[in-house]
Amino acid sequence: MARPALPGRRKLTAGELDLILSAHARFVARQPGGKRCALPFVDFSCLDLSGRELSGADLAGSVFDGARLSEARLTGANLAGCDLRGADLRGAILVRANLRGACLQGANLANADLTEVDLRPGKVALPHPSRGFPAVVEEARSGEIDRATMTGATLDRSRLDGVHAAGADFSDCSLKGAALTDANLKDANLSGALLENAVVAGANLEGADLKGAVVTGVRLAGAKTRGAKLDGTLEAPSRAGVSRAGKLAEMLRGHDQWVRSGGKQGARAVVDGEDLRPLGDALKGLRLTALSAKRACLVGLDLTDVQLQGADLETSDLRGAILKDADLRGARLTGADLTKASLENALLSALPLGGGRTTPTVLTGARLRSAMAAGADLTGALLGDADLKGCDLSGAKLAGIELTSPQRRAARGLSD
């Protein structure tokens, strides 16, 4: 027996909803017969909307309690004042969505894309208590994500001022440039989070776990941090590291010359243990084949199209690094941390050595949590004990690889 609609909320039949959402998908695709979805104050509780196209839809004030929205596309959608408690939003795309005053308590947003989302407090239009919808009253609400699971999510440049997120799990997520002024993050898990240039003035971080978080450009002194765990946080490069940038750049240019000349000019660079972040974009365009950069810090660097064939990057820190279309064939990445790294279409297959010999790319024990490896070529790569939790492997070439059952369950984008 179907559950009656919540007071003041409409409830649609499965047929009605499918017609509306199909027309909206055509609208988004600019196809004939398309019509924008406008369904404010609707009861979507417990419905399965997984993978549906809802970009730009007006869903303000609706209830999604316990609904399934995994992989749904909600770019630019109006979700102001929505009740999304306990909703499944794993892998959903919520770029620039309006979630002002929304409630996401206990929701699962693991690996969701919430880039530039707005979760600030706002005035929410609610059905009139006696006259119902469409008569409305306005009520002020705070954005609420207490106890929500945000692990591996992307919240870059998001607006979370004043949000209530006590006990939420932000582990390994990206909050670059996020606005967290006066946010309540008491007892939240921010371990391993990428917080570069986030604004935390007045935020409550008491008891929060920030172990291993990247806090470059973050003024933690302006937040309440009593009892917070700050072990191993990665701050801005030291003065000594910045002063070495010129010398390191010179060494890497010499390495590039060494590669291009077949060893006749320049010299192979060894930058083991160095902080390469001060180099910024200086690495782009260089040929760094056979580079030795064990234990090096390359967090957040743009290494698009870089050539690192046969490079030694064991236990290096590559969190959030951009390695799209990079050539990493035969590289040694044992124990490297590639959490939230962009590896789309990267080459990670075996490196030909001549005479029919090859050497595989070694990712044994590497951390690839929430990395984006869609379309990457991992043919023959060694992935023993690699952590693939939330790693997007959709369209990746995996010939010659035997993933364990736990690895397959942990990764995303794999066919059954």
CA 88 to chain centre: 17
Instruction: Give the phi and the psi of residue 375 in degrees, each rounded to 5.
Output: 75, 0
Residue for token digits 């997520």? Answer: 173
The set of residues, in sequence order, having a beta carbon less than 8 Å from that of 191 and lying 6+ positions away, is 171, 172, 209, 210, 211, 212, 213, 229
Percent of the chain with pLDDT over 70: 94
pLDDT per residue as tens digits for the range 115-127: 999 999 876 666 6
Q: Supply angle C-alpha 127, 128, 132, rounded to 5.
A: 70
Fold of 241-416: Pectate Lyase C-like (2.160.20)
pLDDT per residue as tens digits for the range 353-397: 888 899 999 999 999 999 999 999 999 999 999 999 999 999 999
Tokens matching residue 411: 């990764």
Q: Which residue has the higher pLDDT, 89 or 1?
A: 89
The set of residues, in sequence order, having a beta carbon less than 8 Å from that of 231 and lying 6+ positions away, is 211, 212
pLDDT per residue as tens digits for the range 162-182: 999 999 999 999 999 999 999
Question: Beta-carbon neighbour count of residue 303 at 10 Å?
Answer: 25
pLDDT per residue as tens digits for the range 260-307: 999 999 999 999 999 999 998 888 888 999 999 999 999 999 999 999
- Once rounded to an integer, what is the mean pLDDT over residues 6-21? 83
- Once rounded to an integer, what is the mean pLDDT over residues 317-345? 97
Report residue 13's pLDDT band, with 50, 70 and 90 as the boundaries. Answer: confident
Percent of the chain with pLDDT over 90: 86
Q: Supply angle C-alpha 399, 400, 403, rounded to 5.
A: 95
* Contact between residue 88 and residue 70 where contact means Cβ atoms under 8 Å apart: yes
pLDDT per residue as tens digits for the range 59-106: 998 999 999 999 999 999 999 999 999 999 999 999 999 999 999 999
* Contact between residue 190 and residue 211 where contact means Cβ atoms under 8 Å apart: no
Report residue 2's pLDDT band, with 50, 70 and 90 as the boundaries. Answer: very low
Report residue 161's pLDDT band, with 50, 70 and 90 as the boundaries. Answer: very high
Q: Which residue has the higher pLDDT, 354 or 161?
A: 161
Any idea where the domains of the chain sit in the sequence? 241-416
